[in-house]
Amino acid sequence: MREILIELNRNKGVLGSLITLKDGIPVEAVLSEGVDLATFSATISEVGQTISKSERLLGIGELQQAIIETSTSRLFIADVGFGYLAVIAQLDVNVGMIKLLVTEAQKDIRNIRFEEG
Protein backbone atom coordinates (compact mmCIF):
# COMPACT_ATOMS: atom_id res chain seq x y z
CA MET A 1 0.00 0.00 0.00
CA ARG A 2 2.91 2.32 0.68
CA GLU A 3 3.89 2.16 -3.00
CA ILE A 4 0.43 3.39 -3.99
CA LEU A 5 0.77 6.40 -1.67
CA ILE A 6 4.28 7.18 -2.89
CA GLU A 7 3.01 7.13 -6.47
CA LEU A 8 0.11 9.46 -5.57
CA ASN A 9 2.51 11.87 -3.86
CA ARG A 10 4.67 12.11 -7.01
CA ASN A 11 1.95 14.08 -8.76
CA LYS A 12 2.14 17.83 -9.04
CA GLY A 13 0.33 19.55 -6.21
CA VAL A 14 -0.08 16.50 -3.96
CA LEU A 15 1.19 17.21 -0.44
CA GLY A 16 0.55 13.89 1.28
CA SER A 17 -1.60 10.79 1.47
CA LEU A 18 -2.90 8.39 4.08
CA ILE A 19 -4.83 5.15 4.47
CA THR A 20 -6.72 4.79 7.73
CA LEU A 21 -9.07 2.22 9.18
CA LYS A 22 -12.63 3.36 9.80
CA ASP A 23 -11.88 3.51 13.53
CA GLY A 24 -9.08 6.02 12.92
CA ILE A 25 -6.07 3.73 13.24
CA PRO A 26 -3.53 4.60 10.53
CA VAL A 27 -2.58 1.81 8.10
CA GLU A 28 -0.03 3.66 5.96
CA ALA A 29 0.94 7.27 5.40
CA VAL A 30 3.27 9.40 3.33
CA LEU A 31 2.83 12.85 4.84
CA SER A 32 4.77 16.07 5.09
CA GLU A 33 7.07 16.43 8.05
CA GLY A 34 5.35 17.86 11.09
CA VAL A 35 1.92 16.34 10.38
CA ASP A 36 0.61 14.49 13.43
CA LEU A 37 -0.27 11.06 12.03
CA ALA A 38 -2.62 10.01 14.83
CA THR A 39 -4.61 13.25 14.69
CA PHE A 40 -4.79 13.29 10.91
CA SER A 41 -5.85 9.65 10.74
CA ALA A 42 -8.54 10.05 13.39
CA THR A 43 -9.83 13.20 11.71
CA ILE A 44 -10.07 11.55 8.28
CA SER A 45 -11.96 8.65 9.83
CA GLU A 46 -14.38 11.02 11.56
CA VAL A 47 -14.96 13.05 8.38
CA GLY A 48 -15.52 9.89 6.32
CA GLN A 49 -17.98 8.50 8.83
CA THR A 50 -19.84 11.81 9.08
CA ILE A 51 -20.17 12.03 5.31
CA SER A 52 -21.35 8.41 5.12
CA LYS A 53 -23.93 8.95 7.87
CA SER A 54 -25.22 12.10 6.17
CA GLU A 55 -25.58 10.30 2.85
CA ARG A 56 -27.54 7.49 4.49
CA LEU A 57 -29.85 10.00 6.20
CA LEU A 58 -30.42 11.81 2.91
CA GLY A 59 -30.84 8.57 0.98
CA ILE A 60 -28.32 9.56 -1.69
CA GLY A 61 -26.18 6.42 -1.76
CA GLU A 62 -22.89 5.42 -0.22
CA LEU A 63 -19.67 7.40 -0.03
CA GLN A 64 -17.33 6.74 -2.91
CA GLN A 65 -15.31 9.95 -2.83
CA ALA A 66 -15.56 13.42 -1.37
CA ILE A 67 -13.57 16.57 -2.03
CA ILE A 68 -13.26 19.24 0.64
CA GLU A 69 -11.89 22.63 -0.34
CA THR A 70 -10.40 24.92 2.29
CA SER A 71 -8.82 28.34 1.96
CA THR A 72 -5.39 26.76 1.42
CA SER A 73 -5.81 23.20 0.14
CA ARG A 74 -8.06 20.41 -1.09
CA LEU A 75 -8.71 17.14 0.69
CA PHE A 76 -9.78 14.10 -1.31
CA ILE A 77 -11.35 11.25 0.70
CA ALA A 78 -12.23 7.86 -0.78
CA ASP A 79 -13.84 4.84 0.84
CA VAL A 80 -11.65 1.75 0.39
CA GLY A 81 -13.95 -0.69 2.15
CA PHE A 82 -12.01 -1.30 5.36
CA GLY A 83 -11.16 2.39 5.75
CA TYR A 84 -10.42 5.60 3.92
CA LEU A 85 -7.81 6.93 1.53
CA ALA A 86 -7.06 10.62 2.01
CA VAL A 87 -5.00 12.84 -0.28
CA ILE A 88 -4.06 16.41 0.62
CA ALA A 89 -3.31 18.68 -2.32
CA GLN A 90 -2.59 22.31 -3.06
CA LEU A 91 -5.61 24.48 -3.75
CA ASP A 92 -4.62 25.04 -7.40
CA VAL A 93 -4.20 21.33 -8.17
CA ASN A 94 -5.83 19.84 -11.27
CA VAL A 95 -8.92 18.44 -9.52
CA GLY A 96 -9.93 16.17 -12.41
CA MET A 97 -6.49 14.59 -12.60
CA ILE A 98 -6.23 14.02 -8.84
CA LYS A 99 -9.77 12.61 -8.73
CA LEU A 100 -8.82 10.14 -11.48
CA LEU A 101 -5.64 9.15 -9.60
CA VAL A 102 -7.59 8.73 -6.35
CA THR A 103 -10.11 6.50 -8.16
CA GLU A 104 -7.30 4.30 -9.50
CA ALA A 105 -5.63 4.13 -6.08
CA GLN A 106 -8.98 3.35 -4.44
CA LYS A 107 -9.43 0.32 -6.74
CA ASP A 108 -5.83 -0.82 -6.21
CA ILE A 109 -6.13 -0.60 -2.41
CA ARG A 110 -9.40 -2.53 -2.42
CA ASN A 111 -7.79 -5.24 -4.58
CA ILE A 112 -4.72 -5.52 -2.34
CA ARG A 113 -6.88 -5.78 0.77
CA PHE A 114 -9.05 -8.42 -0.87
CA GLU A 115 -6.00 -10.45 -1.91
CA GLU A 116 -4.45 -10.18 1.56
CA GLY A 117 -7.46 -11.49 3.30
Contact 64, 80 (CB under 8 A): no
Domains of the chain, residue spans: 2-116
Alpha helices by DSSP H, the chain: 2-9, 37-58, 95-116
Q: Find, among 87, 89, 105, 110, the residue nearest to 40 by Cα.
A: 87
Cα separation of 15 and 2, whole Å? 15
- Per-residue pLDDT, 108: 94
- Res 114: pLDDT: 53
Instruction: Supply the mean pLDDT for the chain.
Output: 92
Number of residues written out for the chain: 117
* pLDDT bucket at 116, cuts 50 / 70 / 90: low
What is the amino acid identity at position 69? E
The reported pLDDT for the residue numbered 17 is: 97
32-69 pLDDT tens trace: 888 899 999 999 999 999 988 888 888 888 888 999 99
Residue 57: what pLDDT?
87
How far apart, in whole angstroms, are the C-alpha atoms of residue 25 and residue 12? 28
CATH, domain range 2-116: 3.30.450.30
